[in-house]
Amino acid sequence: MPWHYTTAVDFVDHWQTLLAGLIALIAAIIAVFVTLRVERRKVDRELDALRKSLAMELRQLIPRALGAHLALQKLGNKPDGPVTARMAESLSRVPVPIVYPANAHKIGLLEGDAMDVVIVYGLLDIACDSVARLITSYRTPDDISPEVVLKTAEAFLEACKYATSVLPKLRTGVPSHDDRDVELLQKISAAASTQPAGEQHPPASAMRR
């Protein structure tokens, strides 16, 4: 004989196991949804902090790299007296990156911008290493040829040129810092325009192909 409920209490009492299961399932779905939202917000906060931290560091490193390029270029064109490795070193000191090495395992979070960031830091490392090698590897560190100095200067400029496509993608969120980008990009462009035609390199977009 089929069961018929007569009151709401009678209905709940008969189907309480099924209702309890449905309530538990709904609660589990809500818990998973909330957890995913919390994790997504955490990742978004980490990504935002990473972008801003890298943006601030690059806005410290790139102007110094540009300064190193200009100083070495002037040194390489010096008409009198020998050029020493120590002279080149003193004019090309760029701060050691801190944010990038500490967060190298998170760079993938930048997705499409990750490779560009890696390349900029790589070019900066190459430029700084080229100065260090003038002292440790060059046969006559007390008499560096102007051509070598100018090539070293060019290495710093290459990092700056590549950074012109990266800086606009990484904003600090502080207008007083970000507003200086236009002036910095103009200085890099002016420095690049003084390179002899034979020393011009492909644009950053071509280097990625």
Per residue in 142-159, pLDDT (tens digit) is: 888 899 999 999 999 999
In degrees, rounded to 5, the angle at the alpha carbon of residue 159 between the alpha carbons of residues 157 and 160 is 65
Residues in contact with 143: Cβ distance below 8 Å, sequence separation at least 6, in sequence order: 82, 83, 84
Q: How many CA atoms lie within 13 A of 150 on its CB side?
A: 12
pTM over 0.95, yes/no: no
Quick one: DSSP state of residue 112?
Answer: G
Amino acid letter for position 11: F
Q: Which of 50, 208, 209, 43 is nearest to 115 (CA)?
A: 208
The answer to whether the Cα torsion of 105, 129, 191, 57 is positive or negative is positive
3-class SS at 145? coil
pLDDT for the residue numbered 176 = 83
Contact 138, 127 (CB under 8 A): no
pLDDT for the residue numbered 203 = 41
pLDDT for the residue numbered 81 = 79
The CA-based diameter of the chain, rounded to the nearest angstrom, is 114
Residues in contact with 26: Cβ distance below 8 Å, sequence separation at least 6, in sequence order: none
Please tell me the distance from the alpha carbon of residue 70 to that of residue 139, in angstroms, as a whole number: 25
Please tell me the distance from the alpha carbon of residue 167 to that of residue 155, in angstroms, as a whole number: 18
Q: Which two tokens stand for residue 80?
A: 């009198």
pLDDT for the residue numbered 208 = 40
pLDDT for the residue numbered 139 = 76
Quick one: DSSP state of residue 95?
Answer: P
pLDDT for the residue numbered 87 = 93
pLDDT for the residue numbered 45 = 87
pLDDT for the residue numbered 201 = 45
What tens digit of pLDDT does each residue of 126-143 get?
999 999 998 887 777 888
Regions of the chain short of the pLDDT cut 70: 1-15, 39, 43, 196-209
pLDDT for the residue numbered 14 = 60
